[in-house]
Amino acid sequence: MKNFITTQNWSRSELQDIVDFAIELKNNPYQPLLKNKSIAMLFFNPSLRTKTSFEVGISELSGTAVVLQPGKDAWPIEFQENIVMDGDAEEHVKEVAQVLSSYCDCIAIRAFPHFKDWDHDRTDSVINSFAKYSSVPVVNMETIEHPCQELAHILTLQEHFGDLQGKEYLLTWTYHPKPLNTAVANSSLLIASKFGMNVKLLCPSEDYHLDDRYLKAAKENCASEGASFDISYDIDSAYSNADIVYAKSWGCLSHYGKIDEQIANNNQFKHFIVDESKMALTNKAVFSHCLPLRRNVKATDGVMNADYCIAVKEAGNRKHVQKSMLSKIL
Amino acid sequence: MKNFITTQNWSRSELQDIVDFAIELKNNPYQPLLKNKSIAMLFFNPSLRTKTSFEVGISELSGTAVVLQPGKDAWPIEFQENIVMDGDAEEHVKEVAQVLSSYCDCIAIRAFPHFKDWDHDRTDSVINSFAKYSSVPVVNMETIEHPCQELAHILTLQEHFGDLQGKEYLLTWTYHPKPLNTAVANSSLLIASKFGMNVKLLCPSEDYHLDDRYLKAAKENCASEGASFDISYDIDSAYSNADIVYAKSWGCLSHYGKIDEQIANNNQFKHFIVDESKMALTNKAVFSHCLPLRRNVKATDGVMNADYCIAVKEAGNRKHVQKSMLSKIL
Amino acid sequence: MKNFITTQNWSRSELQDIVDFAIELKNNPYQPLLKNKSIAMLFFNPSLRTKTSFEVGISELSGTAVVLQPGKDAWPIEFQENIVMDGDAEEHVKEVAQVLSSYCDCIAIRAFPHFKDWDHDRTDSVINSFAKYSSVPVVNMETIEHPCQELAHILTLQEHFGDLQGKEYLLTWTYHPKPLNTAVANSSLLIASKFGMNVKLLCPSEDYHLDDRYLKAAKENCASEGASFDISYDIDSAYSNADIVYAKSWGCLSHYGKIDEQIANNNQFKHFIVDESKMALTNKAVFSHCLPLRRNVKATDGVMNADYCIAVKEAGNRKHVQKSMLSKIL
C-alpha cells in the first residue's frame, strides 16, 4: 500500500510513470480502472479545481467520490494523541480514519496549515494522522505540499519542452494582500529539482525563505541530478535566461502567525508582480501558476493573456495526472 | 455549440422539440444520452428543486454532475474585466470558465442578482461572463431569467390544455415579505408570449413593472403570434376569464436596492395573495407557481390544496425538461 | 410501501432478514439492486458516517444519492400545518415532500430535535411530516431514534456472540460536556429488548430517564421475549456480569431546553466515563458506542483501544445494513 502524500517518497521514474500514463488517459479518458472503488474526499478548506477534477476524473474511471467537509457538514476532528477531548472536536482521527477506511478504498485530504505556529504546521499533522490510522491509501489534495499540482506542472512542462533536464527554472515569490500557504512553493522546489532542472528561488529577502526542509531537499535533488540550486533577491538577474517562470505568493515564515506583520511585509513588495517587462528578460519562458490567481496583483492581465501563459493548461492537466495516480495506488 | 441562457435565443419550434422529447423521457427515463458527459453545477444561491432534479436527471442519463458553491466550498470569483483584484475575489471568471471547460462538458449556473443596482444586475454578468470564456455550453439554472422553469411550465400546461394558442394567461404579482428576484416573472412573460397566449401582467402599480426588456419582448412575441399583451392594476378584471393563473412576487424595480422601501411597498399589497375567491373569477383556471411558495402569504392553503393547483406537477416536470434540454445541447 | 422510521414498526424476524442479507452484501458488495433508483438524503444536521456509508453503499448497489442541506444549500422548510408562513421558512414540507417524491425513489432524513421543548420534539415532526406527504419510502438517518445504528449494532453483536437471546445488555449513560440527543439511547433500548436480551439502563438519577415511550416499549419487548428490563443508578452492580456495554450521553429530559442546567447536571457525573476498571467488572463484555466519541470524556483511551471495543466495527457495518434495508424497501 502506498500513500501519495509527498513526491519525496516517490522516485523520479515512478513519478514519470504517473505522468506517462496520464497522457494515455488524456487520449482515452474513459476506462473502468476505479470500478467498485470509492474515494472519500475530506475538504478542511475550499476548492474548485481539486474538487471538480477529482470528482469528474474518478467518475470517468467508473469510481465513486464522496465529498466531506469536517466542521461544516461533518463533525470537527481531534488530531492530538492522549487528550481529554473536552474542546470543540467531537471525534478523534483514530476513529475517523478507521471508519472511513472501512467504507472507502482511499482517503484524500485537503488540510491547509492553521497559520499560527509553523513548528506545529510543518508536522502536517492532519494528513499524517490519517495516514497513521487509515488502512487504505491516503492522498494529499494540498496541505503544506501540493503533490497533485506538481504532477500537473511536470506534465504541462513536458508537453511544452519535452525533456526538462537542465532547463532554467525560476520560482518567484509574488505579491498577494494576504499571507498565503507555502504549499505550492514547497512543491515547486521539490518537483523542479527532482526533474533535473536548474532551480532558482527568487524572493524579497531572507524573511521569505521557505522551510529548510524544502530548501535542503531541493539542493539534494539538484545535486543528485547534476543541476544547480540558487536563491536570489535580484529580480532582473533571476528572470534573465529563465525557461520557466512559476509564481506563488506566501506569507513569510519569519513572521508566521503574526498576520499584520506578514501583510505589512508583503505590502513592501508589490513590485514582485509578474509583468510583461520581467517576462521579456527571460529566454522566451513559459509562465505558470497553480491558480487561483488574482489578476493585476500576482500577475498582470498581459502575462495571463499571453500565449506563454500555461496556467490554465496546467490546471486542466490536474484531472489526468490525478486519474493516473489513483489508478497506480488503488 | 449552443448555450441555454434565455429562451429568447430559441425559436418556438426548438423549444417545442425540447418539450416533446421531455415527454418521451418521462415515459422512458433511463437512457445513456449523457454517458461520458459531466456537468459542473455552480450554485451562487440555494436550491432544492434545481439541484435535485439536475443531479437525478443527469444520473438517469448516465452522466456525472459536480456541485460547486463558489464563495462557500470554492473560491470567490471576480467578474469585472481589467481590474486589480485586491478585493475578496481570489480568481477571475476567465480562468474559472476555461478550467471548468477543460474538466466538464457543460457549465450550469445559478446566480441571483445582487439587489443593489438594477442597471448592473440586468446585464446578467455572471452567466454572460461564463458564456464568454467557456468553451462548453452554459446553462441557466436561474439568474434574472429562469428558462428551465419556463420549459417545465409549458410542458405542464400542455399536459393540461393541449394546444396553448389563444389561452388567457395571467401573471399576477403576489405578496412576499421580502423583495424577491424578478427572474421567474420575466420568464413567465417570455414563455407565455412565445407560445401564443394572450398575456396579462397584473401588478399593484407602475412601480412593479418588470424591466422594459421583458415587457418589450413579451409584446413582440405576442404580436408575432397574433396574441394580445396587457398590463393591469385591477385584480377582479385581470382574473376574470383567465385560463391560467401564474403567481410570483418580486421587489419593485423602481426602488431597487432600497430594501426597506421595497418591503414597505410590498406590505401595502398583501391583498394580492392568490385565494379561492379570486380563482373563482376565472374560467376554471389552473394555478401554478415556481416554488418555493410561502403558504397563506403568496397563496392560500385552499388554493395550494385545490385540484387546479399544478405547481407540484410543474416542479416534477423540471427533471424531464432539463434532461431533454441537456441531451439537445450536449 | 414501507418506511424505515422506527424499528418498532418492524418485527424481529423482518429485522433479522435485513441483518442476514447485510452479511450477504458484506461478502458480495457490488450488486445492481438499486439500479435506476435515486435517494434524496436531507441533512438538517452534520454527519460523517451516515453520509459516507449511505453514499458509498448506494453507489455499490448502482443507485444514485443526492445530498441536500435545507437551510444551508436548500431553502428552510416549514413543518406546521395551516400556518401563515411569514417567518424564515420559504416553503412547506407538503410541497418539498411531494416534489422530492417526483424526483426520487426514497427520501432519507437526518433531523435532530430542537432541544427546546421535548413535548414537541418527541412528536418527531420533521420525519413524520415527510412520511405523511411523501409518496416514496422515508428512511430515518437519525431523529429522536436512530434505527440504522440499531441494525449495525445488532449485526456487530451477532458477529461476536451469535445468538443474542438472554445476553446481559447494559446501556450506560456517560459524560459529555453538552446535553446531547437521546436518539441512540432510545434506539439502544428498542433493539436490545427486541432481540431478547436482558436489558439494564444505567443512569445517574431519575432525571436522566429516557422518555416513557421508550421505557415502556423496552419493557414490553423484553416481556414478550421472556427477558428482563431494569433501571439502575449503581455503577458497580450494573456493570457486573454484563456481556455488552453500550454507552451514550444525553441531556436529561427533566431539564430539557434549559441547557445551562443540563450542563450543570452532566458535570456532576463525569465519573460515569467508561473506563477499564468498570469494564473489569463485566463478564468480559464487549464495549460499543455509536460514534462520534470524545476520548477520555465518554470513554478512556484504554477502553477505546482495547480488543473488546467494537465501536469501529459497528460503524463499518452501517454500510452493509443500510444497503440491505434500502434493498428491502425499494
Pairing of strands A64-68, C91-92: unpaired
A-C contacts (CB, under 8 Å): 90
Is residue A1 included in any domain, yes or no?
no
Residue B240 belongs to domain with CATH number: 3.40.50.1370
- Flag whether residue C215 sits within 8 Å of chain A, measured between CB atoms: no
Asked whether residue C313 carries a pLDDT value surpassing 90, the answer given is yes
Contact by Cβ (8 Å): A141, A47: yes
Count of domains in chain A? 2
CB-based contact B312 C73, cutoff 8 Å:
no
C-alpha cell at B162: 393541449
pLDDT in tens, chain B (330 residues): 799 999 999 999 999 999 999 999 999 999 999 999 999 999 998 888 999 999 999 999 999 999 998 877 778 899 999 999 999 999 999 999 999 999 999 999 999 999 999 999 999 999 999 999 999 999 999 999 999 999 999 999 999 999 999 999 999 999 999 999 999 999 999 999 999 999 999 999 999 999 999 999 999 999 999 999 999 999 999 999 999 999 999 999 999 999 999 999 999 999 999 999 999 999 999 999 999 999 999 999 999 999 999 999 999 999 999 999 999 999
- Flag whether residue C71 sits within 8 Å of chain A, measured between CB atoms: no
CB-based contact C48 A102, cutoff 8 Å:
no
- Flag whether residue A322 sits within 8 Å of chain B, measured between CB atoms: no
Element housing A309 (H / E): none
Q: Does one domain contain both C242 and C256?
A: yes
Long-range contacts of C20-28 (CB under 8 A, 24+ apart): C21/C324, C21/C327, C21/C328, C22/C151, C22/C155, C22/C317, C22/C320, C22/C321, C22/C323, C22/C324, C23/C155, C23/C320, C24/C324, C25/C320, C25/C323, C25/C324, C25/C327, C26/C317, C26/C320
Whole-number Å distance between alpha carbons of A151 and A323:
11
Cβ of B121: how many Cβ atoms within 10 Å?
22
What are the tens digits of pLDDT across the range A112-144?
A: 999 999 999 999 999 999 999 999 999 999 999
Contact by Cβ (8 Å): A171, A285: no
Q: What is the pLDDT of residue C74?
A: 75
The answer to whether the predicted template modeling score (pTM) of the entire model surpasses 0.90 is yes
Cell numbers 490510522: residue: A133
b vs e for A294-326, b when ≥16 Cβ sit within 10 Å of the residue's Cβ? bbbbbbbbebbeeeebbbbbbbbbbbbbbbbbb
Looking at beta carbons, which residues of chain A come within 8 Å of B96? 48
- Flag whether residue A85 sits within 8 Å of chain C, measured between CB atoms: yes
Q: What is the pLDDT of residue A74?
A: 76
CB-based contact C291 A95, cutoff 8 Å:
yes
Cis amide prior to A46 (ω within 30 degrees): no
- Flag whether residue C88 sits within 8 Å of chain B, measured between CB atoms: no
Residues with Cβ within 8 Å of residue A79, at least 6 apart in sequence? A92, A93, A125, A126, A129
What are the tens digits of pLDDT across the range A136-193?
A: 999 999 999 999 999 999 999 999 999 999 999 999 999 999 999 999 999 999 999 9
C-alpha cell at B47: 436550491
- Flag whether residue B258 sits within 8 Å of chain C, measured between CB atoms: no
C-alpha cell at C76: 428552510
Q: How does DSSP classify residue C270?
A: G
Q: How does DSSP classify residue A209?
A: P
Please report, for chain A, how many H helices and E strands are present, in that order. 13, 11
Q: Does one domain contain both A17 and A98?
A: yes
Q: Does one domain contain both C224 and C167?
A: yes
- Flag whether residue C297 sits within 8 Å of chain A, measured between CB atoms: yes
C-alpha cell at C215: 421505557
Instruction: Select the residue of C82, C84, C100 nearest B52 (Cβ to Cβ).
Output: C100
B289 vs chain A: nearest CA distance in angstroms?
A: 31
Q: Does one domain contain both C161 and C275?
A: yes
CB-based contact C95 B311, cutoff 8 Å:
yes
Whole-number Å distance between alpha carbons of A171 and A200:
6
B-C contacts (CB, under 8 Å): 89
Name the residue among A100, A105, A42 with its Cα closest to residue A73: A42
**Interface mutation vs chain C, best among A83, A99, A101, most C CBs within 10 Å:** A99
Is residue B1 included in any domain, yes or no?
no
Instruction: Select the residue of A48, A295, A319 nearest B74 (Cβ to Cβ).
Output: A48
Bridge partner residues of C4 (DSSP): C139
CB-based contact A51 B66, cutoff 8 Å:
yes
Is residue C280 included in any domain, yes or no?
yes
Is residue C2 included in any domain, yes or no?
no
The sheet carrying C38-43 orders its strands as C64-68, C38-43, C106-110, C138-140
The helix-helix angle for B311-329 and C93-103 (nearest 10°) equals 40
Is residue C75 included in any domain, yes or no?
yes
Element housing A314 (H / E): helix A311-329
Q: Does one domain contain both C110 and C14?
A: yes
C52 vs chain A: nearest CA distance in angstroms?
A: 7
The sheet carrying C244-248 orders its strands as C229-232, C198-202, C168-173, C244-248, C286-288
Q: Does one domain contain both B134 and B231?
A: no
- Flag whether residue C38 sits within 8 Å of chain B, measured between CB atoms: yes
Bridge partner residues of C41 (DSSP): C67, C108
Q: What is the pLDDT of residue C310?
A: 98
Q: Does one domain contain both C196 and C61?
A: no
Q: Does one domain contain both B94 and B194?
A: no
CB-based contact C91 B291, cutoff 8 Å:
yes
Q: Does one domain contain both B60 and B183?
A: no
Whole-number Å distance between alpha carbons of A64 and A83:
34
Looking at beta carbons, which residues of chain A come within 8 Å of B100? 48, 52
Whole-number Å distance between alpha carbons of A105 and A37:
6
Whole-number Å distance between alpha carbons of A73 and C17:
32
DSSP 3-state assignment of A170? strand
Ramachandran region, residue A291 (left: φ > 0; alpha: ψ -120 to 50; beta: rest): left
DSSP 3-state assignment of A189? helix
CA of A25: how far to CAs of A57, B32, B120, B255, C7, in Å?
10, 22, 43, 55, 48
Share of chain C residues as helix, strand and coil, in percent rounded to the nearest 5:
45, 15, 40
Q: Does one domain contain both B105 and B190?
A: no
Q: What is the pLDDT of residue B46?
A: 85
Please report, for chain C, how many H helices and E strands are present, in that order. 13, 11
Cβ of B8: how many Cβ atoms within 10 Å?
16
Whole-number Å distance between alpha carbons of C299 and C248:
10
pLDDT in tens, chain A (330 residues): 799 999 999 999 999 999 999 999 999 999 999 999 999 999 998 888 999 999 999 999 999 999 998 877 778 899 999 999 999 999 999 999 999 999 999 999 999 999 999 999 999 999 999 999 999 999 999 999 999 999 999 999 999 999 999 999 999 999 999 999 999 999 999 999 999 999 999 999 999 999 999 999 999 999 999 999 999 999 999 999 999 999 999 999 999 999 999 999 999 999 999 999 999 999 999 999 999 999 999 999 999 999 999 999 999 999 999 999 999 999
The sheet carrying B198-202 orders its strands as B229-232, B198-202, B168-173, B244-248, B286-288
Average pLDDT over residues C164-191: 97
3-state secondary structure chain B: CCCECCHHHCCHHHHHHHHHHHHHHHHCCCCCCCCCCEEEEEECCCCCHHHHHHHHHHHHCCCEEEEECECCCECCEECCCCCCCCCCCCEEHHHHHHHHHHHCCEEEEECCCCCCCHHHHCCCHHHHHHHHHCCCCEEECCCCCCHHHHHHHHHHHHHHHCCCCCCEEEEEECCCCCCCCCHHHHHHHHHHHHCCCEEEEECCCHHHCCCHHHHHHHHHHHHHHCCCEEEECCHHHHHCCCCEEEEECCCCHHHCCCHHHHHHHHHCCHHHCECHHHHHCCCCCEEECCCCCCECCCECHHHHHCCCECHHHHHHHHHHHHHHHHHHHC
Residues with Cβ within 8 Å of residue C266, at least 6 apart in sequence? C175, C176, C177, C178, C179, C249, C251, C252
- Flag whether residue C264 sits within 8 Å of chain B, measured between CB atoms: no
Q: Does one domain contain both B137 and B156?
A: no
CB-based contact A292 B38, cutoff 8 Å:
no
Residues with Cβ within 8 Å of residue B98, at least 6 apart in sequence? A312, B133, B134, B135
CB-based contact C48 A99, cutoff 8 Å:
yes
Is residue A2 included in any domain, yes or no?
no
Q: Does one domain contain both C163 and C295?
A: yes
**Interface mutation vs chain B, best among A294, A314, A318, most B CBs within 10 Å:** A294
Is residue A42 included in any domain, yes or no?
yes
Is residue B2 included in any domain, yes or no?
no
C106 vs chain A: nearest CA distance in angstroms?
A: 19
Instruction: Select the residue of A73, A74, A99 nearest C316 (Cβ to Cβ).
Output: A99
Between the CA atoms of A8, A11, A12 and A16, what dihedral angle is there, to the nearest 10 degrees?
-110
A42 vs chain C: nearest CA distance in angstroms?
A: 10
Q: What is the pLDDT of residue B73?
A: 72
- Flag whether residue B74 sits within 8 Å of chain A, measured between CB atoms: yes
Contact by Cβ (8 Å): A110, A50: yes
Where does the pLDDT of residue C107 fall: very low under 50, low under 70, confident under 90, or very high at 90 and above?
very high
Asked whether residue C42 carries a pLDDT value surpassing 80, the answer given is yes
DSSP 3-state assignment of C315? helix
Whole-number Å distance between alpha carbons of B171 and A92:
56
Residue type, A15: L
Chains that touch C (3 or more CB pairs under 8 A): A, B
End-to-end CA distance of chain C: 8
Chains that touch B (3 or more CB pairs under 8 A): A, C
CB-based contact C293 A95, cutoff 8 Å:
yes
Q: What is the pLDDT of residue A288?
A: 98
Question: Which residue of chain C has the CA closest to B298?
Answer: C85
Whole-number Å distance between alpha carbons of B33 and B28:
12
Give residue A227's domain range.
Answer: 149-315
Whole-number Å distance between alpha carbons of C134 and C3:
10
CB-based contact B102 A30, cutoff 8 Å:
no
